[in-house]
Amino acid sequence: MNHTPGIMTEPDLIQYREAAHLSGETRYIPDMELYRGTLTGYAVSSPHAKARLEHLDVSLARTSPGVAAVLTANDIPGPNTMAPVIDDEPCLLPEGGTCGYMGQVVCIIAADTLENAKKAASLIEWQWKVLDPVLTVEEAMKNEDFLFKPLRLKRGDPAHVMENAPFRKKGSLEAGGQEHYYFETQAAYAVPLHQGGLLIRSSTQNPTDNQRFATSLLGLKASDVEVQVGFLGGGFGGKQTQATWTVAWSALLAWKTKKPVLFIMERDQDFRLTGKRHPFKAHWEAGFDHQGRILALEISMSYDCGWCNDVSIAVLHHSLFHMDGAYYIPHIDSVLYGCRTNKPSNTAFRGFGVPQAISVIESVITQIAQTLGKDSANVRWKNYYGIRKNNRTPYNMLVEHNILRAAHRQIVQKSDYFGLRKKINAFNKKNTFKKQGLALVPGKFGISFNESFFNQAGALINIYRDGSVLIHHPGTEMGQGLHDKMRTVVHRELGVSTDFIRVADTSTSIIPNTTSTAASTGTDFSGAALKDACDKLKKRLNPIALKMMGLEKGKVVWENNTVSCKEAGTGVPFKELSFHSYMILESLSEKGFYKRENIGFNLDTMTGRPYWYYVMGSSVAHVELNLLTGQFRILDMWILHDCGEPVDKGIDMGQIHGAFMQGLGWCTLEKLITGKNGRLETYSLDNYKIPGIYELPENFHIELFQGNPEPLNIHNTRAIGEPPLIYALSVWLALQDARGTTLPIPATREELIKPLYNEE
């Protein structure tokens, strides 16, 4: 198969995508062939949101038919903890302990069938002292019940500037959470090894953390436990830390029974036990001039973090560093509170706190424009970060490769924004019960883990004597196309056709100390580590190739399955070079490593460089709203997004589509409802609505911004997974434009018609 140098051909793309995901042939943990004697795991959880477990007796459950083991906190060999950051999360609630939410796991059962495990669970005897749960951030704020010290980021003197500003405006915003709804629920399969230790197959974004807690709970060494990851049936952040649960529980049960244990959460249990996107309530005040330029901004946000920290402190840091959005704010004071409530611990979710921050600042800009009677697109233009001045964030990081105004100009032109505004005004004058709305939302999204030690990756490339290539990298494939991109990176570097390159399942035994596939860094980290391995291989094999060509020196080029010297007009097939190198005892295996240094910030001063680079773009949404029913249509959606130079344009376009639709769900559809007793009432698709085909924009225009490569990143590309989600905020703001009132998130049909009834 012929290839243009450095470019993956369309037949290749079709071959590798259709062969797995699109053809339905991808195998997940529920599809695995199991070892003989495999047991089924089941978690027994608290029936109360807040209660002290005063007595626990599992003796009858242990003698129930088909049951191999029932484990409580007392049966854990090692420390009873699986908290990823702050040590506040036990693996199993101990007797005498107080549960933090309805669903917290008390004990785990291994049985021959799920039915027998559930029957055993019904035989457990326990006594609880029920306490009053805290279910709202208002209660937590009143009690000053925070999981960690409030985070604050301040620049300048906002109070003084606010006092003297020509205009002042106060506002608030409330946003709900969001269920990840990966189509493969949390799952793990733990198999005892004959030489000791465990092999665990996990549906996780974070193999090393799975390994860390399995070994800690069992009192083992990291080398005793191998965690393997094949394809995940979705993740979206929900399998970054909370995938550890099924791994921990299956590992404990396999250790106890000496048999393989398969642990798969049922959908309703997964819904009720796992964390969501962080809900919040925000209050703000802005001081601005007659053109809408923000002079000073004060923001207070109360986040519902749930019962324990999980990664909330990191989420709030990420949110804090995006309170400015795409705008230069000379004087700002932001305070974020991590509130403790008796709900499941909220966790990582695509965007990791950024959508929450962006929704607030975009709401501020919109209301400033309304106050001044100006079009919000013009007010946004006045506030954008500059290139030569007004180009440092509140945490003093330089905003480089700034395309905000360039993207704004292009999206305004492509959408005919101002012409469309005139048409919408004319439509709204003629129609009483249907109104149209328009909104423009820019994007600026920081890429990297804020904690510096996470910014690293290892990789391994094996070339076989027949010229085929096997690559190992630390990332996990959850449908985002990471494996395809890594195949493309190696194809570009070694010049080998993609049909000769295979990506192995991720394994902690092959690539140790992996960083979670999160923060949109999968391609950045894994790709750079693989390139390093390729560079080392080429450096070692170049002299061999030259000698095979009868040359002593020359510039060697790797392309089209050939290693050649164009100056001499000769070359050798990659397959022959591989075989010859093997025959002369040269290693055809190489490891690679990548690290991002100088990433981090000072917790005391809240200054530094938390990001390696920014991803930017812009969007415009045009909607039509039925005021009587709350039903709306997205007539047109324009997105212009900067991917730098894409590793795979098709995958990136797909990620933009998917991220936007998931953001649309958060903004307009997905409403979580918790009862007064702390029970999650929206626990299935019977009562929780996620976007479907009917929510797609009628005209969906997506383009990639051209001519802005990212020099700091692999193949000049930019991250794609999370940033496009924020473009869905343009739909939310367009609905506000049509409705003529502010709206919470999600702006459900009930919310969209509520102002109408309030007016009457």
Q: What single-letter amino acid sits at 464?
A: Y
Whether residue 576 contacts residue 496, with contact meaning beta carbons closer than 8 Å, is answered with: no
Q: Can you tell me whether residue 300 is helix, strand or coil?
A: strand
The token pair at 646 is 């894409």
* Residues β-bridged to residue 34: none
Q: Tokens 């039509």 sit at which residue? A: 624
Token look-up 């004697």 returns 37
State the greatest distance between any 2 C-alpha atoms of the chain, in Å, as a whole number: 90
Q: What 8-state DSSP symbol labels residue 136?
A: S
Q: Which two tokens stand for residue 736?
A: 């506000």
Question: Within 13 A of 409's CA, how many CA atoms are on the CB side?
Answer: 3
**Are 469 and 223 a contacting pair, CB within 8 Å?**
no
Whether residue 746 has a cis bond before it, omega within 30° of 0: yes
Contact 82, 217 (CB under 8 A): yes
Tokens of 475: 């990332």
User: Which residues lie below 8 Å from residue 130, measured CB to CB, with a gap of 6+?
Assistant: 48, 50, 51
> How many whole angstroms separate alpha carbon 538 and alpha carbon 590?
10
User: Residue ranges of the alpha helices (H) in 552-612?
Assistant: 574-583
The structure tokens listed for 666 are 């958060």
Backbone angles phi, psi at 421, to 5 degrees: -60, -40
Closest to 284 in 3D by CA, of 354, 358, 356, 361: 361
CA geometry: angle 119, 124, 127, nearest 5 deg:
145
Q: Are 610 and 722 in contact (CB under 8 A)?
A: no
CB 505, CB 435: distance < 8 Å = no
Sequence letter at residue 315? V
Given 89, 298, 590, 722, the catalytic residue: 722
**Per-residue CA distances from 232 to 352, 480, 598 (Å):** 19, 10, 32
Q: Which neighbouring-strand residues pair with 457? A: 594
23: left (phi over 0), alpha (psi -120 to 50) or beta: alpha
Q: Is 163 a catalytic residue?
A: no
Question: Is the distance from CB of 494 to CB of 632 less than 8 angstroms?
Answer: no
Q: 645: closest CA among 743, 593, 716?
A: 716
Secondary structure class of 394 (helix, strand, coil): coil
Annotated active-site positions, please? 722
